[in-house]
A and B are shown apart, each in its own frame.
Chain A
Amino acid sequence: MAPESTSPLRRLLATREASVVGALIVTVIAASFWIEGFATGRNTGFLILDIAAIALIALPMTLIVITGEIDLSVASTLGLTSAVMGQLWVMGLPLETIVPLCVVLGAVLGAVNGLLVTVAGLPSLAVTIGTMALYRGLAYVVLGDRAVADFPFSWTGGATARIGETQIPWVVLLVIGLAVVFGVVLHATPVGRALYAIGNNDEAARFSGISVRMTKLWLFVASGAVSAVAGVFWTLQYSSARADNAAGLELSVVAAVLLGGVSIFGGSGALAGVIGGVLLLGTIRNALQLADVSSDTLSIVTGLLLVISVVAPNVVTRLKERRRATAPPPDRAAADSSPSSSPTVPAPSKR
């Protein structure tokens, strides 16, 4: 009994990531059966384009949330980048120069967040609510309520171009490439381990020699830079630079990250779960839209999914605790003595 219940496969299946991926598979199968036009290459292409920006920004956001911080300014960084891109284009700069400048700008905006959090020691939730308003405001200062839409087709068409003869847009390669980079950093390097350590206990991490401040600073820089990349992509994809581009997207990104099983208090979560969360949210939205379900049901589903995904594991843990408390003592002693019986459901961090 005991070895079976703790076999690597069983443990893997019990993780949060597995349940998100499971839900994703069920959704895809169900949608393919019942919803006309879902399981087509064309639709898959649209779905990927739709979620590309969220997927990109969710990558650094995952790492930030794991360290116990949050960045709510990402959508405003995207908007400001888009506005600056439009303004520079109007001023006659070539896009080859504009795009790198935009990414640098994003990194600088991220660095401002990072410095306020690490050097000034301010809570990231409050800082990034402030910079969310500031960056979005600056976007309006730069571009006003104008829209710049005359980007050359070689660029706008390129942003939505498909790979060869398939219907898959090339941007998927960008997402996968960055996902691999962030995944490797998080799960296969000392830096990644440090992120979990910081999220679990900031102070203990510092005493164990981790440079908490530098780590967090670089995460915010990465978040800004990736948001800027998403901004460039967004602008080209919709062929429109506007100050209000992607307004409110930060909530979708945070929702996807939390749905993917990252604890809002930091210290736990995996990138695979987050990618599953992004895909799950995107697929459900896409399927419901194809099924002509109105947008109100869409937002109800998004919200319920988020709440249930967090409530359910909590309830399961509490039920288990109760059962363990009422179980006969020998059982408990056996469970305690066997070293391999680690709890399959990760206990939520208590605060």
Chain B
Amino acid sequence: MSTPTTAPSPQVQEHGGGDAKAGRRLRQVREVGILLALVLLIVVTTVVNPNFLSAQSLRDLLLGATLLTILAVGQTLVIVTRSVDLSVGSILGLTAFAVGSLFIAFPNLPIPVVAVAGVLIGAVCGAVNGALVAAARVPALVVTLGTLYVFRGVDHWLAGGRQINAADMPGPFLALGRATVLGIPVLALVAVVVVAAVGWYLSSYRSGRELYAIGSEPAAARLSGISVDRRIFAAFVANGALAGLAGVLYAARFGTLDATVGTGLELQVVAAAVVGGVAIFGGSGTVLGAALGAVLLTTIGSALPILRVDGFWQQAVVGLLILIAIGMDRLLAVRAERRLRGGESRGA
């Protein structure tokens, strides 16, 4: 889709030599903004009900944000390259059910083996998406809309109307979903590790930076010798693997699985990334921002009932937040552009 709006301007800055600092500042403003919103929300909610900041409720909050955060990190990898993956909800559902089925079929299988199997299943799903997008050059929105149905169909076929209960899975695996280290849930630590690792990769590795280059201008990236197709393929595989990991964690945390797990999650994931400042048309955005977006969306969900706002308002608030976030991005981009233009005229 043609929109010369949000995507290009921050990138322009990065190439603008001395303006790289301005680009970084822009992104920091964005992340600090979400962080402020998050802090404000937590403070207000705590004033209304001091229990909101209790260890237990914080733990619940972190646990709740875990899955969305991991998915949002994966989605960032894909969106940065000017693609999108709508099939993540289906991949999560499929891997979660596959993990449960594996435990039933082979009760003696070690837990790490099953976890790795889940991640691999997700990676295979991601590879299907990636191959269709990169090799067959089909728009990602279309491909992943198709595979959203296909993976969900495979999930239904695998489930055949059955439900897997906590009793079907080994105790230690389920305990993982509730375990804590120094009071912090293990699952949340997994999410932190994912955010740190992918964030570091995107900012420090050559291939990570190339993902941004592809997103800002695919043709230019190709001309400058970046193997665009391979990078996009890899981004989809990584996103699939992360969705697979989220599926494994879902199984450990909830224990009850059927074929509808993760339905409709894709739009929440995209929403988290967009709220976190990841430009929907590629080229800019950070993993940290997306993770903050995910945490903010989850926090809103648990804060509203405490603020005695009718739970029915939650979705409306999320929608409003998305609109505000993209509106802010646009505003910042327009301002940066104006400043840049001023700089250019001085140079000339």
Q: Which residues of A contact B (CB under 8 A)?
A: 68-70, 116, 120-127, 129-138, 140-141, 144-145, 201-203, 243, 247-248, 251, 254-255, 258, 264-266, 294-307, 310-311, 314-315, 318, 348, 351
Assuming the A-B contacts A265-B139, A303-B148, are A123 and B1 also in contact, with contact meaning beta carbons closer than 8 angstroms in the complex? yes
Assuming the A-B contacts A123-B280, A137-B317, are A300 and B1 also in contact, with contact meaning beta carbons closer than 8 angstroms in the complex? no
Assuming the A-B contacts A127-B326, A251-B148, are A296 and B157 also in contact, with contact meaning beta carbons closer than 8 angstroms in the complex? yes
Chain A: minimal CB distance from B40 (Å): 20
Among A127, A203, A306, point to the contact of B323 (Cβ < 8 A): A127
Among B141, B281, B318, B322, point to the contact of A264 (Cβ < 8 A): B141
B1, B141, B155, B326: residue with the most chain A Cβ atoms closer than 10 Å: B1
Chain A: minimal CB distance from B268 (Å): 9
Q: Which chain A residues lie closer than 8 Å to B139 at the CB level?
A: 264-265, 310, 351
Contact of B218 with A133 in the complex, beta carbons under 8 Å: no
Contact of A138 with B142 in the complex, beta carbons under 8 Å: no
Chain A: minimal CB distance from B261 (Å): 14
Assuming the A-B contacts A294-B156, A302-B149, are A125 and B315 also in contact, with contact meaning beta carbons closer than 8 angstroms in the complex? no
Give the total number of A-B pairs whose CB atoms are below 8 A apart: 175
Assuming the A-B contacts A123-B326, A137-B319, are A297 and B142 also in contact, with contact meaning beta carbons closer than 8 angstroms in the complex? no
Among A140, A254, A264, A304, point to the contact of B150 (Cβ < 8 A): A304
Among A126, A140, A145, A265, point to the contact of B322 (Cβ < 8 A): A126
B211 within 8 A of A: no
Contact with A along B1-12 (1 / 0, CB 8 A): 111111000000
Q: What separation, in Å, do the CA atoms of A141 and B315 have in the docked complex?
A: 9
Q: What separation, in Å, do the CA atoms of A300 and B2 have in the docked complex?
A: 31
A-B pairs with beta carbons under 8 Å apart, 22 shown? A120-B327, A120-B330, A123-B281, A126-B280, A130-B271, A133-B267, A133-B315, A133-B322, A134-B320, A145-B312, A203-B4, A258-B145, A264-B1, A264-B139, A265-B2, A265-B139, A266-B2, A297-B153, A301-B153, A307-B143, A307-B146, A311-B136
| Closest chain A residue to B141, Cβ basis | A264
Among B150, B267, B322, point to the contact of A303 (Cβ < 8 A): B150
B296 within 8 A of A: no
| Closest chain B residue to A141, Cβ basis | B312
Q: What separation, in Å, do the CA atoms of A254 and B313 have in the docked complex?
A: 27
Q: What separation, in Å, do the CA atoms of A137 and B319 have in the docked complex?
A: 8
B259 within 8 A of A: yes
Contact of B154 with A300 in the complex, beta carbons under 8 Å: yes
Q: Which residues of B contact A (CB under 8 A)?
A: 1-6, 132, 136-139, 141-143, 145-157, 218, 259, 264, 267, 270-271, 274, 280-281, 310, 312-320, 322-323, 326-327, 330
Q: Which chain A residues lie closer than 8 Å to B152 at the CB level?
A: 296, 299, 303
| Closest chain B residue to A351, Cβ basis | B218
Contact of A304 with B319 in the complex, beta carbons under 8 Å: no
> DSSP majority for the B interface?
helix
Contact of A264 with B5 in the complex, beta carbons under 8 Å: no
Assuming the A-B contacts A130-B322, A307-B146, are A122 and B138 also in contact, with contact meaning beta carbons closer than 8 angstroms in the complex? no
Assuming the A-B contacts A129-B274, A131-B319, A132-B319, are A300 and B312 also in contact, with contact meaning beta carbons closer than 8 angstroms in the complex? no
| Closest chain A residue to B333, Cβ basis | A121
A-B interface, 9 closest residue pairs, ranked by CB to CB distance from nearest: A134-B319, A137-B316, A296-B156, A303-B149, A137-B315, A300-B153, A133-B319, A130-B322, A303-B150
Contact of A122 with B143 in the complex, beta carbons under 8 Å: no
Among B145, B153, B271, point to the contact of A306 (Cβ < 8 A): B145
Contact of B149 with A306 in the complex, beta carbons under 8 Å: yes
Q: What separation, in Å, do the CA atoms of A311 and B128 have in the docked complex?
A: 13
Q: What separation, in Å, do the CA atoms of A294 and B139 have in the docked complex?
A: 29
| Closest chain A residue to B137, Cβ basis | A314
Chain A: minimal CB distance from B280 (Å): 5
Contact of A297 with B322 in the complex, beta carbons under 8 Å: no
Contact of B323 with A310 in the complex, beta carbons under 8 Å: no
Assuming the A-B contacts A127-B326, A132-B319, are A68 and B2 also in contact, with contact meaning beta carbons closer than 8 angstroms in the complex? yes
Contact of A315 with B326 in the complex, beta carbons under 8 Å: no
Q: Which chain B residues lie closer than 8 Å to A137 at the CB level?
A: 312-319
Q: What separation, in Å, do the CA atoms of A290 and B314 have in the docked complex?
A: 39
Assuming the A-B contacts A133-B315, A310-B142, are A299 and B153 also in contact, with contact meaning beta carbons closer than 8 angstroms in the complex? yes
Chain A: minimal CB distance from B236 (Å): 14
Q: Which chain B residues lie closer than 8 Å to A248 at the CB level?
A: 264
Q: What separation, in Å, do the CA atoms of A122 and B3 have in the docked complex?
A: 8
Q: What separation, in Å, do the CA atoms of A140 and B3 have in the docked complex?
A: 32
Chain A: minimal CB distance from B181 (Å): 35
Contact of A307 with B150 in the complex, beta carbons under 8 Å: yes
Contact of A315 with B136 in the complex, beta carbons under 8 Å: yes
Assuming the A-B contacts A303-B147, A307-B147, are A264 and B316 also in contact, with contact meaning beta carbons closer than 8 angstroms in the complex? no
Q: Which chain A residues lie closer than 8 Å to B145 at the CB level?
A: 251, 254-255, 258, 303, 306
Chain A: minimal CB distance from B61 (Å): 21
Contact of B156 with A299 in the complex, beta carbons under 8 Å: yes
Q: What separation, in Å, do the CA atoms of A121 and B6 have in the docked complex?
A: 9
Q: Which chain A residues lie closer than 8 Å to B271 at the CB level?
A: 129-130, 133
Q: What separation, in Å, do the CA atoms of A136 and B88 have in the docked complex?
A: 21
A122, A255, A304: residue with the most chain B Cβ atoms closer than 10 Å: A122
Q: Which chain B residues lie closer than 8 Å to A306 at the CB level?
A: 142, 145-146, 149
Q: Which chain A residues lie closer than 8 Å to B319 at the CB level?
A: 130-137
Chain B: minimal CB distance from A94 (Å): 27
Q: What separation, in Å, do the CA atoms of A106 and B151 have in the docked complex?
A: 33
Contact of B142 with A258 in the complex, beta carbons under 8 Å: yes
